[in-house]
Structure 1
Amino acid sequence: MWKMSLAGSGIGGGRHGAQGGTKRLKRRLSSFITSALALSVLAGSLAACSPPPAANKLVYGMEAENDQGWCLPEAQMTTAGMLTMRSMFDPLTVPNDKGEYVPFLAKAVTPNKDFTEWTITLREGVKFHDGSPLNAVVVKNNLDAFRGQYPARQPLLFLFTFMDVADVSVKDEFNVVVTTKVPWRAFPAFLNLSNRFGIMAQSQLDDPKTCDTKPVGTGPFMIEDWKPGNRLLLKKNPNYWIKGYPLLDELEFRPMPDPDARRNALLGGEIDAMHTSDDLAVDDFRPEVAGGNVNMYDTLKFTELSYVMLNTSKLPFSNKNARLALAYGGDRNAINQAVYAGLAEQREGPYPKGSPGYLPDPGFPKYDPKKAQEYGRKYEEETGQPLEFELSIIPSVVALGQLLQQLGKDSGITIKLKQMDQAQLINGAINGDFDAMVFRNHPGTEPDLQAVWWTDGPVNFPRFNAKDDQGNWLQPGGKKINDLLVEARSEPDQAKRTKLYEEVNRTFGAEAFNIWAFSSHWAVVTAPDVKGILGANNPDGSPPFPGLATAHPLYAMCREGVSCPPEAEVDSIPVDVETVG
C-alpha cells in the first residue's frame, strides 16, 4: 500500500531537478598559435588550471544521524548506525554474495552435529583501537552483553534475539563455545545481526558513562571527533587486521536527512558519496552516471521491506475486519504511479525474491474498494465504533501520509498522522505505543533473523504475537506464525525450512497482520573517482555481499589515482585479502 522509510527516503519530494557534473572551462583563442613557445605557454597554462589530485579522504552524506551512538548491545540502529558501525567495528560473520554467513572477524564458526553447540575460533594478533588484544574473554563478554548477561550493559531488543542461547564459555585464548537451548542452524547469521553486532573492546564494554560516544572496536577506522548533527570524523586504523586496508586515510560522515540536499551536495562536490533508498532518486542519477559525472551501485538484492506495521493487541486492528478493510483499500499500483512513476517493486509478503519463504502470490489482499468498504462496515457493526486510527510517521513521509489520508477517506477510514523522529518511532515499535506505523525493516538474507519480531518472547511485542493477562494468544494466526518460526529455527533440512517459511508467508497474507508495500531500492552514489563500495572478497575468498539495506563496509573504498589498486571497480575490489592470524 505504501512506500516508506525509517530514515528519510525522499518520499513526497518529487523528481530532483538539480543538474551536476564537472564544470567545463570554455576559452576562445584570438590568434593562431604558430610557434613552439606559444604551444608551451598554452600547455603550462592548462596544467596550472588542472585540479589537484583528490585527498585520500571520503565525505559520506547519510540519510540520518546515528543519534544513539555505538554502545552496540543497547543501540537501536538504522542504516546510518549500521554504516558507521561497520567503519569502526567488525562483526564475527558477514553474508557473502549468496547471502550465506561466513567468518569475518572470526576465523571459523563450527557447529556440532545437531547445531546445539557452536565453536567460534578467533584470529590471533587482532588488536582493538586502544591496543588491547582480541581474545575469547572479550568476545564472550560481548555475547553476554547482547543477551543481557553482562552487568555493565542493559540491552533491550537483543534480549529477545539471543533468548535461545543457553551458555557462553571460554574454551581457550582464541576459542569461544556457545551452547543453545534448541538446534539453531542459522546461528552464524546472529553473529552479524544485519550489521548491528560488532565486537567492542573491554574498555568500552565497561564504560559506565560514555559507552555510546567513545567507540573502541577492531574496525578499519578509529574515531577522531563527533559533533552530533554535524559530522563524524574517523581516521585510518594503521593496524587493521586485513593487511593493506583500509585504503582511505580519513572518512567523514555527515547527516543530511533531506535527499535533495544530499544530491546537490554530491553533484556540487561538497561530499564524495551518499546513499539513498528512493526509486526516483536512483532513476534521476542514471543520466549523471551515463555522463560520467558520478558512479553508482544500486540494487534490490536482499533488500528491506517498506510497509505499515499494525498493532493488533488493541482496536482497531485487533479486529480482523479493520485489517482487511485497510488491506483491500490500498491501491498500491496507483500509489506507485503517483509517487514513484511506477518504478517501485511491489511486495506481497515479508520475504524478497531469492530468500527462503518467498512466494510470488502468498494470498495478500488485492485492491478492491468495495471489499474495503464492506469490511469497514463489518468493523463498525461489531465494535460500534467508526474505523479510525493514528498513523505514526517520520517527517520525510508527511506528503505520503497526507495522500494516504485521502485514500482512507475514500474507503470510509479516518487516518490521523502523528509525526516523530526515528528514535521515537523505533521505541514505539518495541513498546507498542502506536496504532499503525510506517516502517522499513526485514532485510532478506536469513529468515530466522526476523523471528524476533514475530515470535513469543519474555516481553511480547504488542502486535499479532500479543497475549492477554492470562497468557492466551490474542490472534490465533499469530500463534500459527510463532509455531512455524520456532520449528523452522530447529529444522536442519534447508528444503523443509523453506516450506515452513512459505507457510509463514501465506499466513501473513490471510491474516493481513501488516500492510505490505514496496521493496526499498538502495543505491550508493559517489564522485566519479570513488570505487570499492562493497569491499574486497571475504577472508574465505567468497565475493562480497551485494545488498545495501543493512549498509556496506567501507574498508575498501578508495580514490582512483590516489589509493585504488588496479583491480578496483565501482562496486567492489575483486581480489582475495590477507589477514593476520
Structure 2
Amino acid sequence: MTTRDWSDRDGAMVAGLMQKGMGRRDVLRMLTAGGLAMTSAGAMLTHAGRAFAQTPVRGGSIRVAGITSSNADTLDPAKASNQTDYIRACAFYNRLTVLDNGGLPQMDLAESVDSADAKTWTIRLKSGVTFHDSKSLTSADVVYSLQRHLDETVGSKVNSIAKQMTTIRAVDDLTIEVGLDTANADLPTILALHHFMIVADGTTDFTKGNGTGPFICESFEPGVRAIGVRNPNYFKDGKPYLDSFEHFGIADNSARVNALLSGDVHLASSVKPQYLRLVENNPAIALVTTNAGNYTNLNVRLDLEPGMKAGFAEGLKHLLNRELIVNSILRGVGEIGNDQPIPSASFYYNHELPAKPFDPEKARFLFEKAGLLGQTIPIVASDAADASVEMATVLQQAGAEIGMKFEIQRVPSDGYWSNYWLKSPVHFGNINPRPTPDIYFSLLYASDAPWNESQYRSEAFDKLLLEARGLLDLERRKEIYHQMQVMIAGEAGTAIPARSGTIDAMTSKLKGFEANPLGGLMGYAFSEHVWLEA
C-alpha cells in the first residue's frame, strides 16, 4: 500500500466531519484505511482541529475543584509544593519562560534567554509589563525573585536547583545576566518551573499574590479557597478570557465528580480512573487525559527503621504487583514503572531497565534476611497521594500470603504533605511531572535534594549529576542518565510501580483546555487559557 500526502482540501473535509460530530479516533481510522500515513493523518487532524476551533469567548466565571487543600497552602511560589499552590501561582504570577505542549521552552516574561556557552546567560525582559499594584516589571524584580531561592531562610523548594546560579545581576532595567557554576543547557526549561515565578522586588508579604499574572487575587483563605478576577492590564492581548475563577479542594473523588455532575463546579481535577464510569458517557462532560508521567511512589527512608535493614526496600519492590496496579487500580490509564522517575516518552528514558517482577518468594527471602518477616510494619497512606490507599491494600494482601504484616495507617489529606510526607519511615508520595531528568534528580535524589523521599545518598550519583548537566553532547548525556536510572532503581528506597495519566473532567462548555507536559490542568495554568462557551 502506498501513502499519499494531504492537502488543504483534505483538511477542510476532515474539519467538516469533526464539526458534524465524528470523533478523532474514527477519523484517524478512516484516513489510515484510505492509505494516508499515520504521521500525515495525525498532522491533518491537528490542522483540522485548529480549523474549526471556536473563537474564544470573553466573560463568565468558573468554579474549580482540586484534589487537596490545607492550612499550609501558600501564595509564595518559592514554597509551592502541590497542585493547589501551582494553580494559584500560575493565575497570579508569570515565569520567564513556559513550556509548550511539546515540552519546549517558550518566552513568557522574557523576550529572550540566550547563551553562547550554556554557562553565562542573558535574559531580556518584555517591556510594558506591570504588577497588579501598577509597578512596572524591571530586572530588579527578576534578580530579587531568583536570589530568594538561594536564601536558606526562605525555604525554597528549588534551592538545590537554584544553587547553580552563582551570579545574578541586572545589566540594565530590562536585562539580567545569570552565571552558572557549570554549564547547563537546560536553564530556559528550568526557569519554566512553577517555583520560578517572578515576584516584585522586596516582597515579603505573599498573602496578596501581587504578580504580573492574568488574574488578581481577590480572596485567599489557606485550606479553604482562592478567588481570582481578571487582570485588566495583562500584557497578553485578549487574555484571560474569564472574568473570574474560584478554586478550592475536594479531596474525596466521588464528591468531586458529583460536584461536577450537579453543576456546582465547572472543572474537577485528577479524577481517578475508577470514577470514569460516572462521567465518560455523559455528553455534558468532557475529559482530557494528560500522560505526562505522574506517579505515586512508595518511600522507604533508608536512615530509619525498618529501611535501615538491608533488603527491606528491595523486598517491597518485588512484592508490588505492578500489572495489577495498572490494570485494576489505574483502570489501564497508566503504564508499569521501573522504580525511577523519568517517563517513558522522554528522550532520556532507559528502555533497557526492566521493572522488578512480582516475586513474593524473593520478597519473603529478603524480608527474612533483614530479620523483619512476621513483624508488623506501618505504612502511611492518604487520599492526598493519589491511589496510595489502594496500592497499600494490594501490598498488604500480598504480604499476608508470605507472612509479612503491613498495617495501613490511613491519614487525612489535610496536613499530609507537611506532617507525613518525607517524615514517616514508610509512606507514599505523589510526584507531578518535571520537564528534564536533571530536575527530577536534583529535586528527589541528589544528596542535598529538598524532596529526597528515601534519604538516598550517593557521591557517585551526585558526581554523575553534575557531569551530565553541562554536556552539550546529547548522546553522552543520555548514556549517563541511563546509568543514573539504574542506580536509583537498585539503590534508592523509592518504589515507583506505575506511572499514571491525569484525567481532568469538565463541563463540555469549557473550551481551550489542552494537555501540557508539566501535568494536568494544562500544567496547572488552565485559568489563563480557557473560556466558557456562550
Distance 1:293 1:183 in 2: 50
SS at match of 1:121: strand
Contact between 2:75 and 2:209, CA under 8 Å: does it hold in 1? yes
1:370-423 deviation digits (Å, cap 9, x = unpaired): 11111112111xxx8866533222246445534432322323333233444557
Contact 1:379 1:387 in 2 (8 A): no
Please tell me the residue identity of whatever aligns with 1:523.
I
Matched, 1:367 2:340: no
Percent of paired sites with the same residue: 21
Which structure exhibits the higher relative contact order, with contacts defined as CA atoms closer than 8 Å and separated by 6 or more residues? 1
Residue 377 (structure 2) aligns with: 389
Post-superposition offset of 1:230: 3.8
The match for 2:129 among 121, 126, 130 is 126
How is 1:319-334 mapped onto 2 (pairs within 5 angstroms)? 319-334=309-324
Q: Is 1:263 matched up with 2:235?
A: no
Aligned to 1:39: none
Amino acid at match of 2:343: P
Question: Alignment partner of 2:307: what SS?
Answer: coil
Which one of 446, 463, 479 corresponds to residue 499 of structure 1? 479
1:273, 1:525 within 8 Å by CA — same for their partners in 2?
Answer: yes
* 1:518 match: 498
Task: Give the corresponding residue for 1:215.
Answer: 209
CA contact (8 A) 1:116 1:182 kept: yes
Does 1:346 pair with 2:327? no
Q: Which residue of 2 aligns with 1:448?
A: 438
CA distance in 1, matches of 2:450, 2:100: 33
What are the residue-to-residue correspondences of 1:59-78 with 2, within 5 Å? 59-65=63-69, 67-72=71-76, 74-78=78-82
The structure with the larger Rg is 1
- The aligned residue for residue 274 of structure 1 is 268
Distance apart, 1:87 and its partner CA: 0.9
Hey, what's the Cα distance between the residues in 2 that align with 1:166 and 1:427? 30
Q: Per-residue deviation at 1:171?
A: 0.5
- Residue matched to 2:229: 235
2:297 to 292, 304, 307: 307
| CA displacement at 1:178 relative to structure 2 | 0.9
Deviations 1:430-480 (A, max 9, x none): 8x52212211115142111112321133989473534xxxxxxxxxxx333
Asked if 1 retains the 8 angstrom alpha-carbon contact of 2:230 and 2:242, the reply is yes
Contact 1:364 1:512 in 2 (8 A): no
Encode CA deviations 1:320-349: one digit per residue, 9 max, x unaligned: 411221111111223444434444422123
Distance change >3 Å, CA 421–CA 338, structure 1 → 2: same
Which range is displaced more, 349-358 or 101-110? 349-358
Per the alignment, residue 417 of structure 2 pairs with 426
Secondary structure of the 1:304 match is strand
SS at match of 1:130: coil
- What displacement does 1:172 show? 0.3
- Rounded to whole Å, the distance in 1 between the matches of 2:309 and 2:79 is 33
Find the aligned partners of 2:177 and 2:231 in 1 and give their Cα distance.
29
Q: Is the 8 A contact 2:227 2:246 kept in 1?
A: yes
Counterpart contact for 1:363–1:509, Cα < 8 Å = no
1:90 aligns with 2:89: no
Any idea what the Cα deviations from partners look like across 1:263-316, whole Å, max 9, x if unmatched? 11111111111211522234653212xxx211222121x222221122112332
Task: Tell me the residue number matched to 1:560.
Answer: 533
1:244 and 2:203 are equivalent in the alignment: no
Q: Is the 8 A contact 1:363 1:510 kept in 2?
A: no
Paired residues of 1:127 and 1:218 also in contact (CA < 8 A): yes
| Alpha-carbon distance between aligned partners in 1 of 2:114 and 2:130, rounded to the nearest angstrom | 23
Aligned pair 1:169/2:151, yes or no? Answer: no
Do the aligned partners of residues 316 and 503 (structure 1) sit closer, same or farther apart at CA in structure 2, a change above 3 Å counting?
same
Q: CA 1:147–1:283 in structure 2 vs 1: closer, same or farther (change >3 Å)?
A: farther
Distance 1:366 1:428, change over 3 A: farther
Partner AA of 2:392 in structure 1 = G
Aligned to 1:566: none
Q: 2:290, 2:520 within 8 Å by CA — same for their partners in 1? A: yes
* Structure 1: runs of 5 or more not aligned: 1-52, 467-477, 536-543, 562-581
CA RMSD of aligned residues (A): 2.7
SS in 1 for 2:134: coil
Output one character per residue of 1:485-516: Cα deviation in whole Å (capped at 9) or x when no partner: 22111212222212211111222233363211
Q: How does 1:396-415 map to 2 (within 5 A)?
A: 397-398=388-389, 400-415=391-406
Pairwise CA distance, 1:79: 1.2
Structure 2 partner of 1:571: none
Secondary structure at the aligned position of 2:526 is classed as coil
- 1:206 maps onto 2:233 in alignment: no
Match of 1:182 in 2: 182
- Provide the rounded CA distance (Å) in 2 between the counterparts of 1:67 and 1:239: 31
AA aligned to 2:179 is: T
TM-score, normalization by structure 1: 0.75
Between the aligned partners of 1:237 and 1:460, the Cα distance in structure 2 is 34
Match of 2:13 in 1: none
Aligned residue number for residue 569 of structure 1: none
- Amino acid paired to 1:488: A
Return closer, same or farther for 1:235/1:460 CA change in 2, 3 Å cut-off: closer
1:31-77 per-residue CA deviation (whole Å, 9 max, x = no partner) reads: xxxxxxxxxxxxxxxxxxxxxx9971111111112643444255232
CA contact (8 A) 2:158 2:450 kept: no
Aligned-partner residue type, residue 85 of structure 1:
A
After superposition, the Cα gap between the structure-2 partners of 1:324 and 1:412, relative to the gap in structure 1 and judged at 3 Å, is farther
In 1, distance between residues paired with 2:61 and 2:170? 40
Of 472, 485, 489, 1:509 maps to 489
CA separation in 2, counterparts of 1:187 and 1:99? 14
Paired position in structure 2 for 1:529? 509
In 1, Cα distance between the equivalents of 2:89 and 2:450? 27
Q: Contact between 2:59 and 2:242, CA under 8 Å: does it hold in 1?
A: no
**Contact 1:392–1:418 under 8 Å retained in 2:** yes
Judged with a 3 Å threshold, the aligned counterparts in structure 2 of structure 1 residues 66 and 401 are, in CA distance, closer, same or farther, namely same
Question: For residue 415 of structure 1, what is the amino acid of its counterpart?
Answer: F
Alpha-carbon displacement from aligned partner over 1:112-170 (angstroms, at most 9, x marks no partner): 32x11111111100000010011000110011112217xxx622433222121111111
